[in-house]
Amino acid sequence: MFRSSFKLRGKSFDYTIKYMNVSRMFMLPKPDSVHVSFVLGLDQPVRQGNTAYSFLVMQYDKEREVDDFAINLDDEELEKCKLQKVVNGEKLYAVMGQLFKHMTGKNVVTPCQDFKASNGYNCVRCSHKANDGFLYPLKKSFLFVNKPVMWIRYDDVLAVEFSRADSGFTQTRYFDLKIYRKGEGQPHDFQQMDRSEYNGLIEFIQKAGIRIRNLEGSGLGLGKRSRDDGSSPDGSPDLGDDLPSEDESDDEDYEDAGGADSSSDEDDADEEDEDAASDDEKEKKHKHKHRHHHHHHSHKKEKKRKS
């Protein structure tokens, strides 16, 4: 890590990324109780061959601590990021989170404690495009990790739909979730969710104010969960103590914090899906959507009135 940028080095790549290119950050405990994923969202994707990556995922051992970890910052900056000149005995992922928060001026988003899966964690195991991963229902958005990382703001969601929740639901262990984004024809499918997560996920989505298309037609009530919502099994992660924040709530999505651009929440609403699209294509889409965003929604409302 340097004053204005950081470097990523691998066997087949070497990238230098400016802190100002980091648009959002997420610190997410994995249900294996061993690892923590640190996700960085980029305004300008990095490229490897013909593929553009708008998110970077770093994985840390949850229990790994730093020893004689020297930080080359002046006293004033160290006080701001709540770290010492030489750090000992602190969790590595927490130290990295604090450093990136200070260098980028962005908050680090941690899981929403309003959602608890049946295993006590804040995510649901599922697959997307044949890739196994975890869907995190955060306070203002869905985030799927690890491959491909997909970030969907609730403000951009037109509706969600549950499948296999009809007559066949009682014969299968799994259900699927389709998320329809505004302005997109095809939904994003998250498949093979365990049926034990069904009631809790519906309950959370309803509280988030997201429309569920087929809830009434499913013929299923919310029922009782297999465990009390407030409980969590032994070993359930708590990042709050290890990752202090100026925003004391550990279930908040990104909000403006000290020096961060106050327009960033509005800019986030126009983010495109983070698949392999080129920088030029994404920039054109962003400008086009920003120019016609108000007209598009006014037109849809007018059509609904006429019908």
Read off the tokens for 282. 């994404």
Range of the domain at 26: 5-110+239-273
Q: Which of 136, 134, 160 is nearest to 147 (CA)?
A: 134
CB atoms within 10 A of CB 193: 22
- Asked, for residue 41, whether it belongs to a domain, the answer is yes
- Asked, for residue 94, whether it belongs to a domain, the answer is yes
Q: Which residue has the tokens 């697959």?
A: 127
Rounded (10°) CA dihedral 95, 68, 237, 146: 60
- The CATH number that applies at residue 73 is 2.30.29.150
Question: pLDDT tens digits for 177-213?
Answer: 999 999 998 999 999 999 999 999 999 999 999 999 8
3-class state of residue 279 by DSSP? helix
Which pLDDT score is estimated for 191? 92
> In sequence order, what are the residues at sequence separation of 6 or more whose Cβ sits closer than 8 angstroms to the Cβ of residue 212?
159, 160, 161, 162, 202, 205, 206
* Spatial contact of 214 and 132, defined as CB atoms under 8 Å apart: no
Are both 265 and 210 inside the same structural domain?
A: no
Are both 24 and 75 inside the same structural domain?
A: yes
Are both 160 and 245 inside the same structural domain?
A: no
Which pLDDT score is estimated for 277? 38
Are both 137 and 103 inside the same structural domain?
A: no
Are both 106 and 249 inside the same structural domain?
A: yes
Are both 202 and 53 inside the same structural domain?
A: no
- Asked, for residue 282, whether it belongs to a domain, the answer is no
Domain count of the fold of the chain? 2
Are both 49 and 131 inside the same structural domain?
A: no
- The CATH number that applies at residue 131 is 2.30.29.30
Are both 92 and 129 inside the same structural domain?
A: no
Helices (H) and strands (E) in the chain, counts: 5, 15
Taking residues 283-293, what's their average pLDDT?
A: 45
233 pLDDT above the threshold of 70 = no
* Spatial contact of 58 and 82, defined as CB atoms under 8 Å apart: no
CB atoms within 10 A of CB 169: 18
- Asked, for residue 139, whether it belongs to a domain, the answer is yes
- Asked, for residue 21, whether it belongs to a domain, the answer is yes
Question: pLDDT tens digits for 98-155?
Answer: 999 999 999 999 998 899 999 899 999 999 988 999 999 999 999 999 888 999 999 9
Give the integer Cα–Cα distance in Å for 23 and 265: 10
> In sequence order, what are the residues at sequence separation of 6 or more whose Cβ sits closer than 8 angstroms to the Cβ of residue 144?
126, 128, 133, 134, 135, 136, 150, 151, 190
- Asked, for residue 128, whether it belongs to a domain, the answer is yes
Question: pLDDT tens digits for 73-85?
Answer: 888 888 888 888 8
Are both 33 and 86 inside the same structural domain?
A: yes
Are both 211 and 248 inside the same structural domain?
A: no
> In sequence order, what are the residues at sequence separation of 6 or more whose Cβ sits closer than 8 angstroms to the Cβ of residue 226?
118, 196
Confidence of residue 171 (pLDDT cuts 50, 70, 90): low
- Asked, for residue 99, whether it belongs to a domain, the answer is yes
- Asked, for residue 75, whether it belongs to a domain, the answer is yes
Are both 47 and 184 inside the same structural domain?
A: no
Are both 29 and 90 inside the same structural domain?
A: yes
